[in-house]
Amino acid sequence: MAEEPTPILKMENITKRFPGVLANDHANIEIYPGEVLALLGENGAGKSTLMNVLVGLYRPDEGDIFVRGEHVEIHSPSDAAALGIGMVHQNFMLVPTMTVAENIILGMDGLAFRPDLDKVARRIQEIAEHYNMNVDPYAYIWQLSVGEQQRVEILKLIYRGAEILILDEPTAVLTPQESHELANVLKVMTSEGKSAVFITHKMEEVMEFSHWVRVLRRGRVVDVKKTSETNPQELARLMVGREVLFRLEKEASEPGDVVLELQNVYADNEKGLPALQDVSFTIRQGEILGIAGVAGNGQRQLAEVITGLRKVTGGHIYIQGDEETNHSPLRMIKAGVSHIPADRIGMGAVGDMAVSDNLAMKGYREPPMADGGILHPQLILEFARKMIAAFRIATPSPATHIKFLSGGNIQKAILAREIDACKGLLVAVYPSRGLDVGATESVRKRLLEQRAQGRAVLLISEDLDELITIADRIAVLFEGRVMGIVDSHNADIDALGLMMAGVPKQEAIAETSG
């Protein structure tokens, strides 16, 4: 009689409590060699907490962990690394002032007092080229786009030889093509007997990447499914307890006056190199303009020049007919601009401040929250409670420091603040990144509501399905240039993909239509 295979990883009855929150409630998972397990659940269901217990960032209050059949105690990330466990976190664990190579070897055992960084860089380059995730080993982290930083995190684990790879929303900043490349990385690893735990809200990735699915709700594993025997609709229903609309119906809209106009805009990146080159477009009232492109092609700089966070080196920016070129962020706010940034932790929220204070950041200067420079805490609290209820932000209380919320709930708080404050133009940069399917549906509905109310929306997203679903027109950026603008109702994904790779609009359309 054949022996039952031993799980490479088993977590039994893991319980983890925080003040006012039961994050994991006797959660159980197991994974076998050569398998990918998808971990699904709503924002705040306990997925990231469970994995943080596994890598030694948290100590469980109860429960046991077994690796290759042996009971283990994991007190720190170095303990986890010694067991061959590595994690790509949703919020990057990188030192901005150090280079890619320095970050990848930081904290590794057995290094020389002065490591040969050129040798390290060559090895990184080999791995990066092998997996088609090219980054410059000598670049500083602060100089990289969010997508490039994510690639560094993945490369770090591959470099260190992890055998159990934990991926927490790793494809949130990747294009569909890059996601497929990551799938190929996982296939190579699993063919060698390695395993992966994959946390994602993208159902197509669950179906493509995983062998098994475990669904968490309120910290407990409520169901286990073999991926080949389920479907996205069933998994979504298990996660949120109701049917989820994967595609929203967009009502016809007649755009009004021009709200935002860019004329021949140029801007540089942190290295002094061109980030935006001759960018021109308009957005009208009641219109959503989507911006597509691979991470690092000028999307972040585009959002920053419009919101006053970056100076342009040429061209003009007009908001509601008034020139606002190179004006301050506060001036842009007063001109009616709201901004949902790509970096929700570093730029969108202040971790050590209460949820209520973060929600009030756009309105604290004027009535009703303030009068003559004096804040009214009770009115701020009332406003926060209203926003928490309206946007279904899961928080123990309005006074909780926002850093203790899950990534998805931090994003909901930023959305609530910026949508409430919007007076004309909403610049939304990856607004549904990291959100579960129910919350993503809600965010998209909110953006369509802004459109219906006559506001202009600039939606920067790397999810082409999202852009086609809710944008009216889609502009494609490549190396800071607009390759073309297409109507979303007849947009072709293959043509958009070619434009994202630098093929001008007419050539891309001709190549895909032929």
Q: Is there a shared CATH topology between the 7-84+162-243 domain and the 258-336+424-513 domain?
A: yes
* Residue showing tokens 């609530």: 416
At the topology level, CATH places domain 258-336+424-513 in: Rossmann fold (3.40.50)
**One-character DSSP codes across 158-208:** HHTT-SEEEEESTTTTS-HHHHHHHHHHHHHHHHTT-EEEEE-S-HHHHHH
For 416-433, the pLDDT digits (tens) are 999 999 999 999 998 887
Which is nearest to 7 in space by CA: 29, 39, 33?
33
Which is nearest to 204 in space by CA: 464, 477, 28, 29?
464
For 367-423, the pLDDT digits (tens) are 889 888 888 999 999 999 999 998 889 898 999 999 988 777 888 899 999 999 999
Using an 8 Å Cβ cutoff, are 362 and 418 in contact? yes
Classify strands 21-31 and 220-226 as parallel, antiparallel or unpaired: unpaired
Q: What angle do CA 55, 58, 61 make, to 5 degrees?
A: 120
User: What six digits make up the tokens of 282?
Assistant: 């308009």
Which is nearest to 342 in space by CA: 92, 513, 12, 77?
92
| pLDDT computed for residue 492 by the predictor | 87
| pLDDT computed for residue 1 by the predictor | 44
Using an 8 Å Cβ cutoff, are 454 and 286 in contact? yes
| pLDDT computed for residue 456 by the predictor | 97
Using an 8 Å Cβ cutoff, are 130 and 86 in contact? no
Per-residue pLDDT in tens (0 to 9) along the chain, 514 residues: 445 678 999 999 999 998 878 999 999 999 999 999 999 988 778 998 999 999 999 999 999 999 999 999 999 988 998 899 998 876 778 999 999 999 999 878 777 778 889 999 999 999 888 777 778 999 999 888 766 887 898 888 888 888 899 988 777 666 565 677 778 778 878 888 889 998 887 788 888 889 999 999 889 999 999 999 999 888 888 887 766 555 667 777 789 999 999 999 999 998 898 999 999 999 999 999 999 987 778 999 999 999 999 999 999 999 999 999 999 999 999 999 999 998 888 889 999 999 999 999 998 888 889 888 888 999 999 999 999 998 889 898 999 999 988 777 888 899 999 999 999 999 999 888 767 777 788 888 889 999 999 999 999 997 888 899 899 999 999 999 999 999 998 888 888 888 988 889 998 888 887 6
Which letter does DSSP use for residue 129 in this model? H
* Domains of the chain by residue range: 7-84+162-243, 94-160, 258-336+424-513, 351-421
Q: Which residues contact 394 (CB under 8 A, 6 or more apart)?
A: 43, 44, 405, 406, 409
Phi, psi of 174 (to 5 degrees): -105, 150
At the topology level, CATH places domain 7-84+162-243 in: Rossmann fold (3.40.50)
Classify strands 212-217 and 36-41 as parallel, antiparallel or unpaired: parallel
Which is nearest to 280 in space by CA: 265, 266, 259, 297?
265
Strand partners, 290: 459, 474
